[in-house]
Amino acid sequence: MDKFTQISGIAAPMPLVNIDTDMIIPKQFLKTIKRSGLGKNLFDEMRFDRDGKENPDFVLNKPQYRQAQILVAGDNFGCGSSREHAPWALLDFGIRAVISTSYADIFYNNCFKNGILPIVLPPEAVAVLMKDAEKGANARIEVDLENQTVTASDGEAFHFEIDAFKKHCLLNGLDDIGLTMEKAASIDTFEASAAAARPWV
């Protein structure tokens, strides 16, 4: 997994609430057995018509947002299906951070497994950053994970909270499985006592 330390990039505004993972990556693209290559189908049904022609009104098709690295989105981003294809598609497109008031739990977790930072901020802060994002390519937003800040293009900074363990893993690009395997002795011990207490499992 790629480390996440800080980025300064263009943010695309998506003020819609309840953007679900079916919107982020429709099911016809879940037939892959790979993690890569999903960026071209990110938001497919909003981005393209049936013939594959771009919808010029969709934010990521506008010239100023094609290189966006950040999404500023409405409440409850990433609700619905557990498909990790959603963060895979975002990452493959080039999105490294999302800013919203709230996320669905499974999507939120999935982001951290893929080097994407989902930032939670209060509604007033998201509104300021949404306005900033609407300015287009001239408004670069800065995200600093170490200091837990998002800075708008005019210098106004917002502090965000994040779980310390998740932050540590993201900053260092750590592989969860490797970390857990270091605790194999604890798992062995638990497994033996659970097997004695609940032999039917």
Partner 1 sequence: MSPKTLYDKIWDAHVAHESDDGTCLLYIDRHLVHEVTSPQAFEGLRMTGRKVRAPEKTIAVPDHNVPTTLERLEGIISNEEGRIQVEALDKNAKDFGIHYYPMNDLRQGIVHIVGPEQGWTLPGMTVVCGDSHTATHGAFGALAHGIGTSEVEHVLATQTLIQKKSKNMKVEITGKLRPGVTAKDITLAVIGATGTAGGTGYVIEYCGEAIRDLSMEGRMTVCNMAIEGGARAGLIAPDEKTYTYVKGRPHAPKGADWDKALEWWKTLYTDEGAQWDKAITLKGEDIQPVVTWGTSPEDVLPITATVPAPESFTGGKVEAVKRALDYMGLTPGQKLTDIQIDTVFIGSCTNGRIEDLRAAAAIVKGKKIKDGMRAMVVPGSGLVRKQAEEEGIAQIFTDAGFEWRLAGCSMCLAMNPDQLAPGERCASTSNRNYEGRQGYKGRTHLVSPAMAAAAAITGHLTDVREMM
Q: Using alpha carbons, select from 157, 160, 179, 181 the residue that is nearest to residue 168.
A: 179
Q: Does 148 bind partner 1 (CB under 8 A)?
A: no
Does 22 engage in binding with partner 1 (CB under 8 A)? yes
Is the distance from CB of 35 to CB of 86 less than 8 angstroms?
no
Q: Determine phi and psi for 131, rounding to 5 degrees.
A: -60, -40
Q: Which two tokens stand for residue 69?
A: 């690295």
Find, among 136, 141, 135, the residue nearest to 155 by Cα: 141
Contacts of partner 1 in 33-52 (CB under 8 A)? 33-35, 45, 50
Our finding on whether 142 is near partner 1 (CB under 8 A) is no
Residues 112 and 169: their CA atoms lie apart, in Å, by: 8
Q: Which is nearer to partner 1, 32 or 147 (CB)?
A: 32
15 binds partner 1 (CB under 8 A): yes
Q: Specify the 3-state DSSP secondary structure of 13.
A: strand
Answer for which of 99, 102, 116, 125 binds partner 1 (CB under 8 A) is 102
Give the Cα separation of 97 and 122 in Å (integer): 16
Q: How far is the CB of 110 from partner 1 (least distance, A)?
A: 4
**Binding site residues, partner 1, CB under 8 A:** 15-18, 20, 22-23, 26-28, 30-35, 45, 50, 74-76, 79-84, 87, 102-106, 109-110, 113-114, 163-165, 176-177, 180-181, 183-184, 186-187, 189-191, 194, 198-201
